Amino acid sequence: MRPRLYAALLLALLSPLATSQNQPAVPPAATPPMGWNSWNWFAEKVTDKDVRQAADLLVSSGMRDAGYVYVNIDDTWEGTRDAKGVLHANEKFPDMKALADYVHSKGLKLGIYSSPGLKTCARFEGSEGHEQQDADLYASWGIDFLKYDLCSLHKEMGVMAPGDKLKQNVIMRDAYMKMHLAIVKAGRPMVYSICQYGHDSSWEWAAEVGGNMWRTTADIDSTFFRIAQIGREQAGLAQYAGPGHWNDPDMLELGNGKLTADENRSHMGLWAMLAAPLLAGNNLTQLSPNVLAVLTNREIIAIDQDRLGRQAERIYAKGPIEIWSRPLADGTVALAIFNFGEDESFLRGFSLHLAASGAANGWNARDVWAGKDLGPINDNYKFTLKRHASLIFTLSRGQAHN
């Protein structure tokens, strides 16, 4: 046998990813995870029925086929531990294994939530002191994704190492690493989603403790103000993201609150430019045609899921107008122009900064949201952006026009 083939086979056999449950040996989160999460809409009210319904609707709406495969139960599913320390779900989730089987039968994956502290953020049971037991339990249910949320550990760190921020940081990292190792030992691949709100520059260390994605910010809400604020804060973080490990600016708010059609596109477009995990956070029983169309726009999703995995950087920012760009695997460039301001902006005498994006004058532009090829484009392209609106171009070196 050729040595390289032998080594590959050996690695596959030893790899924690090649499990006894016949899971494919594909590293989790090779592209940013996509799916749905219960928190932004249902919060503490979520039930087994809501999760099954979300699974059904992901399929019937076409969202699953567009890539939204994780169905993630957030906080408030937890019940109490029995005499052996085994955690049981509460009365809202009568049979977690049956729920996982149901979700899997739809070609979807099931995610769950816990905390490295004693209590979750909604003050339910956390995993502290029971990490392996919980990881084994999740694996036995068939869980595919774990969001691990700092919550009460934050306070506990302060008690364990009063005034010593450095030591507190070590305690936090160790706690995240502990659960990572427990998941590996449990033997079922799970996307490991680290949630600690971007404290202590999470992007610097979260991949080292096994994170496949990590929150870079405090919680999102369904106002465009907060969405834009979080999006703009992501400038400078591109170097930390890549296949298997992603910056997470929090879950999507499309369909919640009162976002306009322009705001929906800007939210989705910015998250796609950022190679962000796309976890819809809305009530799928009230999915409007506009929200569905924006969430399932194949060309926008293709930007988010581009296999190169290079998150966009901001190449221009003046007042409310910003340009972000990212290179894509096929040699094209995605360029997005946002108007975060409250007024319509007539962009005359404005430059698209094509060279800074890696493109050049004369490259062919496609207006992605419009689904329209525009032909060769130049820096002095003139256009108008309404309040909170954006434009996304893909730019390719033109054969015919060079």
Binding residues vs ligand GLA (CB under 6 A): 39, 74-75, 120-122, 149, 195, 219
Q: Which is nearer to ligand GLA, 120 or 297 (CB)?
A: 120
Q: Which is nearer to ligand GLA, 74 or 131 (CB)?
A: 74
Pick the catalytic residue from 56, 200, 219, 379: 219
Nearest-CB residue to ligand GLA? Answer: 121
Task: Identify the sign of the CA torsion 246, 250, 254, 260.
Answer: negative
Q: Which is nearer to ligand GLA, 144 or 313 (CB)?
A: 144
Q: Which is nearer to ligand GLA, 39 or 393 (CB)?
A: 39
Whether 343 is a known active-site residue: answer no
User: Exposed, middle or buried, 337 (CB in 10 Å: 0-12/13-18/19+)?
Assistant: buried
Cα distances from 249 to residues 43, 191, 359, 375, in angstroms, run 18, 16, 27, 33
In terms of Cα–Cα distance, which of 237, 242, 240, 300 is closest to 273? 300
**Distance, C-alpha 313 to centroid of its chain:** 17
As measured in angstroms, the least distance from the Cβ of 230 to ligand GLA is 12
As measured in angstroms, the least distance from the Cβ of 111 to ligand GLA is 11
CA dihedral 270, 274, 278, 279 (to 10 degrees): -90
As measured in angstroms, the least distance from the Cβ of 74 to ligand GLA is 5
At 338, which amino acid appears? F
- H or E stretch covering 60: helix 48-60
Q: Which is nearer to ligand GLA, 216 or 339 (CB)?
A: 216
Pairwise CA distance, residues 385 & 366, whole Å: 17
As measured in angstroms, the least distance from the Cβ of 122 to ligand GLA is 4
Q: Contact 180/206 with Cβ under 8 angstroms?
A: no
As measured in angstroms, the least distance from the Cβ of 75 to ligand GLA is 3
Pairwise CA distance, residues 91 & 94, whole Å: 6
As measured in angstroms, the least distance from the Cβ of 46 to ligand GLA is 10
Q: Which is nearer to ligand GLA, 114 or 345 (CB)?
A: 114
Look up tokens 């049956």; give the residue: 98
Q: Which is nearer to ligand GLA, 37 or 390 (CB)?
A: 37
At 165, which amino acid appears? K
As measured in angstroms, the least distance from the Cβ of 79 to ligand GLA is 16
Look up tokens 């995990």; give the residue: 277
Extract the tokens encoding 42. Answer: 């249902």
Whether 219 is a known active-site residue: answer yes
Pick the catalytic residue from 50, 134, 144, 149: 149
In terms of Cα–Cα distance, which of 397, 348, 351 is closest to 376? 397
Task: Identify the sign of the CA torsion 109, 112, 116, 121.
Answer: positive
Strand 34-37 to 333-339 pairing: unpaired
Cα distances from 349 to residues 3, 72, 124, 338, 378, in angstroms, run 61, 46, 56, 16, 12
Look up tokens 């581009």; give the residue: 306
Q: Which is nearer to ligand GLA, 74 or 128 (CB)?
A: 74
As measured in angstroms, the least distance from the Cβ of 367 to ligand GLA is 34
Pairwise CA distance, residues 37 & 48, whole Å: 13
Tell me the three state secondary structure of residue 357: helix
Strand 372-376 to 364-367 pairing: antiparallel
Catalytic residues: 149, 219
